[in-house]
Chain A
Amino acid sequence: MTEDLRTEEMIINMGPHHPSTHGVCRLVLTLDGEVVKKCVPVIGYLHRAIEKMCENRTYAQCIPLMDRFEYVTAMSTNWVFALAAEKLSDIEVPERAEHLRVIMGELNRIASHLLCIGVTGLDLGALTPFLYTFREREMILDLFEMTCGQRLTYNYMRVGGVSQDIPPEFIPKCREFLSIIDGKIDDYERILTENPIWIARNKGVGIIPEQMVYDYAISGPAARASGVNFDIRKDDTYSIYDRFEFDIPVFYGCDNYDRYRTRLGEMRQAARIIRQALDQLPEGPVRAKVPMNFKPHPGEVYARIENSRGEMGIHLISDGDKKPYRLRARGGSYNHLMAVPQIAPGLKIADLVAVFASLDIIMPEIDR
């Protein structure tokens, strides 16, 4: 009798339209009941040919395109492009501009981690922390709107500095935000970190062992939650990060729970950096004297920064013209999605959704 009770494997499509694939990603899953046997990501739904477009625009015109390359942390994408262009020229960025860049970059990191934690909760059914993290994110977006007029795609950094100075209301409002953020992070910890259901859903799920981190070039909080202590701000310092004191949270559990805790720790450290940067903010110009038609020296360079998703890098090749010759933008989620088919077999669908959310995969970075 039991030979007749065969179960068939089902091929199900967690399609581009799905409330929890963070953008338009299609996963073709082979399921045996609830358990995923094979997972094949199909991407390309958001391909906008940014690299080809950048070859036809001047350096200043490329910056809004880089905003859209990864819109959740648009400040970082602007920054890495400006860094790459500055490496190929003799421009020296003024001190005030460097401090402003650090403040904006770290505020953006906090905003991005708030989004990630809220959305992870949302995917697991904890609908309330999502609203709470977005309440804090509103404060950060108000600060950005005060500075550059935009809430999501900022177009703020320029080659040689930033585009405009901060208004006088910025600093008191920023300090007010910094005074409450630590208390709010404690709130999130109280709702989620010790919650037995949260622990049951996240501990031991989505394990990325250390060797997989090396093999798939995983960086950022996902790598630091697996015990790999690599942070570009400390290990390959750019801008003025060597003047600030901050720690790098590293955990060894390799699972969703530790990735969540790494992000909480990073938010606290980012707040610490912003406090120091605000204290040390000097007067001065916010942009170096850059000619209208900026032409870097001919050459090739690879610039990288620590984004909230991992390493963001720009490989820029210039032939001395006012347009880049070749631009290749690399985002952290690309490698994370490459690793998902290795983690997926053996997980249940509910776990796969949780892993996707906790790896913080953002599709525009992958499709460009």
Chain B
Amino acid sequence: MELAPIFIWLYNKMLEFGLGITAADIISLVVLAVVVFGFLAVTALFLVWWERKISAHIQQRFGPMMTGWHGALQTIADAVKLIQKEDILPALADRKVFFWAPVIVFVCSFAAYVVIPFGDGLIVSDLNIGVLYIVAITTFTIIALLMAGWGSNNKYALLGGMRSAAQAVSYEVPMVLAVLGVVLVTGSMSMNDIVRMQSAWGGFRWNIIFQPLGFLIYVIAATAEANRTPFDIPEAEQELVAGYNVEYSGMKFAMFFLAEFVNLFTVSAIAATLFLGGWNGPWLPSWVWFLIKTLGMVLLFMLFRWTYPRLRVDQLMEFAWKGLVPLAFVNLVYVGIVARWLNW
């Protein structure tokens, strides 16, 4: 059961009511924004619960069990608790910077969903620079992390913010190079075009079959971008007592926390779209395929977190610049030669 016809029907109904095209466009954009925002909020809550259950079962314990069926309402309980906490502002903190940091992180995490194709025809706006747009938006969060670290007026937070910025900037390079391989083969930066390229062979002509090295590089760089173990030095509890968000409390902390999970969903969605065929697939509706593939990638990231220790910050940087970047260039050369040779 496809969802795109519903939105098209709504749009046509508005035109029938006599609204002009501009008004209908504006209203439909607002509706889409609300729908996407709602979906992501629910997804973030679901992901928090899922992470706690998966980590618990890996560690041979149960996780939340008391609130709702197997703890399903636990995240809502946590959100309510965070909302009613006192919003503490440290005495010597830089007010404007301190205030705007979580806002920017939140906005940038959600802004990336303008170009993610949730299903056949289910994309807010199919920009023809889709991939470039996503890379640019996710880079904005680095500024916000630096703001959070500086504005807290706390040495631990400053260290955390700087480490985080260094890490994010370093891992952008291999990530973009891996994505570039896909763009080369597709010939276009539009996300819908990339998904359509993978619809041959019954919906199974995935890019990962032709570019496994690119997929590997993307997954590793994405783990670092999402600040997940083994690259979660910025939030290392045991060393810096939660790094750059150590001074945040209440709703501001909740924003950082939710933005982290939304980020995780974003990088998984991009991996699924670029390498695993997006919403292509037989029998089931396209948005179901999208969800299955994205949640599969999320599961992979979660398994990483609960298995590996974390890398030290200089080892992390060394790995990015001396390991991943050369590998990404090799991948690019491979894609170029093979694509030309096979006339893709």
Contact = CB atoms under 8 A, between A and B. Distances in A.
- Whether A and B touch directly in their complex, counting CB atoms under 8 A apart, is answered as yes
Interface of A: 10, 12, 18-20, 34, 121-128, 131-132, 135, 191-192, 195, 197-198, 200-201, 348-351, 353
A132 B58 CA distance: 10
A12 B155 contact: yes
B234 to A, nearest CB: 12
Nearest to A191: B307
Given A18-B241, A19-B241, A128 B313 contact: no
B313 A34 contact: yes
B314 A34 contact: yes
B237 to A, nearest CB: 6
Interface string B192-235: 00000000000000000000000000000000000001101100
A197 B238 contact: no
B70 interface: no
Interface in B38-81: 55, 58-61
Given A131-B61, A132-B59, A351 B309 contact: no
B308 interface: yes
A197 B223 CA distance: 15
Contacts, number: 75
Nearest to B236: A125
Interface in B137-171: 155-156, 159
B58 A128 contact: yes
B313 A124 contact: no
B229 A128 contact: no
B239 A350 contact: yes
B306 interface: yes
Contacts of B230: 125, 197
Given A122-B238, A350-B236, A350-B239, A128 B306 contact: yes
B239 A195 contact: no
B311 interface: yes
B238 A353 contact: yes
Interface of B: 55, 58-61, 155-156, 159, 229-230, 232-233, 236-241, 306-315
A158 B156 CA distance: 48
Contacts of A12: 155-156
A38 to B, nearest CB: 16
Nearest to A119: B238
Contacts of B240: 349
B229 A125 contact: yes
Contact of A123 (B58, B229, B238): B238
Nearest to A350: B312
Contact of A126 (B236, B308, B314, B315): B308
Nearest to A349: B239
A125 B313 contact: no
B238 A19 contact: yes
B311 A19 contact: no
Contacts of A125: 229-230, 232, 236, 238, 308-310
Contacts of B238: 19-20, 122-125, 353
Contact of B312 (A127, A195, A351): A351
Contact of A201 (B306, B307, B311): B311
Q: Counting chain B CB atoms within 10 Å of each CB, which of A18, A122, A125, A128 scores highest?
A: A125
Nearest to B158: A10
Given A10-B155, A197-B230, A126 B309 contact: yes
A336 B87 CA distance: 42
B59 A131 contact: yes
Contacts of A124: 238, 309-310
Contacts of A197: 230, 308-311
14 contacts: A12-B155, A34-B314, A124-B238, A125-B238, A127-B306, A128-B307, A131-B61, A132-B59, A197-B309, A197-B311, A348-B312, A350-B236, A350-B239, A353-B239
Given A20-B238, A127-B55, A350-B233, 17 more contacts: A19-B238, A20-B239, A34-B159, A34-B313, A125-B236, A125-B309, A127-B59, A128-B58, A131-B60, A198-B309, A201-B309, A201-B311, A201-B312, A201-B315, A348-B314, A350-B313, A353-B239
Contacts of B313: 34, 348, 350
Nearest to A205: B312
